Structure 1
Amino acid sequence: MVSAQIRCKLLKSRQTPEGEFLPLDQLELDVGFSTGADQLFLVSPLTICHVIDAKSPFYDLSQRSMQTEQFEIVVILEGIVETT
């Protein structure tokens, strides 16, 4: 691969303050957008991290609620393959 980029999305259902039910709400999880760490160099194994800080959707969850909360994390790897 010539170029690769990774993205992570948090998928979960939620109810808005107006009472509307959103069955598949999507939130982008930061895995290095601000530092460029989302641009990958796939020569060796990599560890991708999401830091749980005040901007993270996981910030207000306790360890117990993390275990009982219903959600999915989807990891998307996009890349360009060099033609030979």
Structure 2
Amino acid sequence: MAKSNAELQAVYRQRHLKDIEGNKARLNTLISAPAKRSLKRLAKHYAVRQTALLERLIADAEKAELAKMSGDEQSAYCDAITQ
């Protein structure tokens, strides 16, 4: 019996979308088309993958915010979401 599209997709994900090192998490979201084009342009400009660019932008933004906070504020911020 032939597999459904959903079954084929599940098999593909199991085979191709594994995190070998175990330190990745899936992010599924929709963004605006202009934002997607900007992401592609920036990634190409910096010669990095879009994933690496997003990780860098997020880390830089968080670092900037943490620099504005007191030690107690940083602790509260980090304790808010631990996973």
* TM-score under structure 1 length normalisation: 0.22
Which is richer in helix?
Answer: 2
Q: Which has the higher contact order (CA 8 A, sep 6+)?
A: 1
Larger radius of gyration: 2
* TM-score under structure 2 length normalisation: 0.22
